[in-house]
Chain A
């Protein structure tokens, strides 16, 4: 859907993007992850053609991004707002028309969305009279109203209340199932782990790792095993990373360099071994791992 080739962007002396390559597959829910200042927003603004890259190119489908593509993108920026003095309905229509919808089309779609998200009563209200949660719903509707093929959310869940967060996650999943490609950009990596199927990790304007989320997590498995036993017996003297009492018994994670067959036998003899598995690292673990040790080469 979106391919970035050697995209660079510099603001004065500051390098925001140092030649990044990304591939955002069609139909994916893609997490663009990285700490603040990593270059996420710079790249998003290039996709939205708010700024142009200094060099390199971005491809939309199989050809380079062109101005009319903005009608195919829905973008909810991190710094988002609405005209305070304008009425909600009028404003939604205005933004939809700017995206190229006809007045009639915009109106019928807006009404549909307002019913779906239970916000019909907002239509005649001024934005300044809305609560923050209500305004967030309006912003979401303006982002998706023109049925974009690509949806981009920059730090989508900061400032959203939990009810709206769930509602909007649900709606985004539905839009994804209907064919839209979704990009989530956030520095809170844990917040999108459950929803994304692809991720790209960015730091200091460079892509550190990119691909299907599960593949990456498997790739970065580092010999951490979780054991579930009846109780604590048998773990004495072992280097336990985390331990916890759970309803089935006791769990502990242990890191080893090789397959822990000795440990399994040992535990099985001293305790009741209920289960064991190799642990998938979380995205933030992977991020820290890469920052500290560099990327782990793929089989070659």
Chain B
């Protein structure tokens, strides 16, 4: 006797893996991901063109600075030029921009800082603008200090930078760990987002698969050979397997591309920090020399084990819900009204991710990591920071328990739903099916 669940898993897996779109997605996604990681680095490191700037510096505040290699400064004589003449001069010259610094009445630094003008033949690049602003800030600062009778040299010498080494106090002496908050933030956040996408992407595929079987009317043929629950579980496992394979290929390919590009093609860029997303924690604060101590401070077996557990736990929970949804509707277009309530917890978990990161042991983080519909994401974000064992155990137990509960309920809805055609289903109707 063949094991029907294995047969179903096999079919679900093979039909998906053999599709051209699978191959395409599997190969293209890492390229896209790598591009997302690499392109900003390349772009950020690309210098703007050299610019020649003419300066009409009435208070002689910038003089005698000649600028940099990239931005060269040439000064006009303020006694020969006014702003209009200078603009005229810019038009006729091969220079790129005109910087006008008015002296105002009586050399007032506050007047100057508010009335500096920069004209460009083309749009002024952000780097040029920053360069000018920094130069002027420094000069005006010094000028103000001198006016107050302070030697700018003294100020420079007294400037102090503090870098606190933070530790997490262990139970015993000598057990102190170097705190690695930024690294933990990054790790938790990325792991949470991965789980979010995985659940979304593949649980929806389970729903699609169920709808496909329903609309093609094969489902009754199948369930005259296997139990509806076996069909549902086979589908969930088969698609999950596709996800795992795709995910592993992505990790390997992305890693390979990243390594190749960063070590062989653009090594100089990757020596600097690569900017991530705007939301991503700033890793640049990480003291490079401390990095190994930090890595050691994270309990990787727990984080990795947690990732695998919540990755699958979340997927199984949601895909069972989506399977029930798919069984209740006739076509995908009808799925919208049911999708939102089901996906809302996940969306809440991801939108509160930053709050959880900022206070990983606070009440929000605690409750979000206990509620099974949000815990796969929220608990994953917390894990790198270290979570008490009882909380991990409780969260895991709740997730597993809920999973079995949901599978039982989803199975009932599924069993009725797959044989129900041409009926607009309501929530009330779904509730009734539980009792059939």
Report A's interface with B, CB cutoff 8 A: 11-12, 45, 48-51, 67-68, 70-71, 73, 75-77, 79-86, 94-95, 97-102, 139, 142
What B residues does A45 contact at CB under 8 A? 419
The 5 A-B residue pairs whose C-beta atoms are closest, nearest first, are A81-B217, A77-B220, A98-B225, A75-B224, A81-B216
Sample of 7 further A-B pairs with CB below 8 A, known A70-B225, A97-B2, A142-B221: A48-B224, A50-B223, A50-B419, A71-B1, A80-B217, A81-B217, A83-B213
Bound form: Cα–Cα A82–B221 in Å: 9
CB distance from A152 to the nearest CB of B (A): 9
Contacting pair A83 B224 (CB below 8 A):
no
- Our count of residue pairs bridging A and B at CB distance below 8 angstroms stands at 73
User: Digit string of B218-235 for contact with A (CB within 8 Å is 1, else 0)?
Assistant: 101111111110000000
| Smallest Cβ-Cβ distance to A106: which chain B residue | B2
What A residues does B222 contact at CB under 8 A? 95, 98
What A residues does B11 contact at CB under 8 A? 94
Give the residue of A49, A82, A101, A102 whose beta carbon is less than 8 angstroms from that of B218: A82
User: Digit string of B1-32 for contact with A (CB within 8 Å is 1, else 0)?
Assistant: 11010011001000100000000000000000
Contacting pair B225 A85 (CB below 8 A):
no
Interface centre among B4, B216, B221, B421, by most A CB within 10 Å? B221
| Smallest Cβ-Cβ distance to A128: which chain B residue | B216
CB distance from B255 to the nearest CB of A (A): 33
Contacting pair B436 A11 (CB below 8 A):
yes
What B residues does A73 contact at CB under 8 A? 224
Report B's interface with A, CB cutoff 8 A: 1-2, 4, 7-8, 11, 15, 212-213, 216-218, 220-228, 415, 419, 421, 432, 435-436
CB distance from B231 to the nearest CB of A (A): 10
A-B pairs with beta carbons under 8 Å apart, 6 shown: A12-B435, A50-B224, A67-B227, A68-B1, A80-B221, A82-B221
Contacting pair B7 A97 (CB below 8 A):
yes
What A residues does B15 contact at CB under 8 A? 83, 85-86
| Smallest Cβ-Cβ distance to A10: which chain B residue | B436
CB distance from A17 to the nearest CB of B (A): 14
CB distance from B66 to the nearest CB of A (A): 70
Contacting pair B421 A98 (CB below 8 A):
no
Contacting pair A98 B218 (CB below 8 A):
no
Contacting pair A79 B421 (CB below 8 A):
yes
What B residues does A48 contact at CB under 8 A? 224
